[in-house]
Amino acid sequence: MKLVFATHNQNKLKEVQALLPKYIEILSLDDIGCTEDIPEEEDTIAGNAMAKANYVKQHYGYDCFADDTGLEVSALGGAPGVYSARYAGPQKNDQDNVNKLLDELKDHHDRSARFKTVIALNLDREKILFLGIAEGAITTKPQGDNGFGYDPVFQPEGYQETFAELPLSEKNKISHRAKAMKALIEYFK
Active-site residue numbers? Answer: 68
Per DSSP, helices labelled H in the chain are: 10-19, 45-60, 94-105, 168-174, 176-188
Spell out the residues 6+ positions from residue 124 whose beta carbon is closer than 8 angstroms to its own.
Answer: 63
Q: In this structure, how many other beta carbons lie within 10 angstroms of the beta carbon of residue 9?
A: 16
8 Å CB contact between 51 and 86 = no
C-alpha–C-alpha distance, residues 119 and 130, integer Å: 5
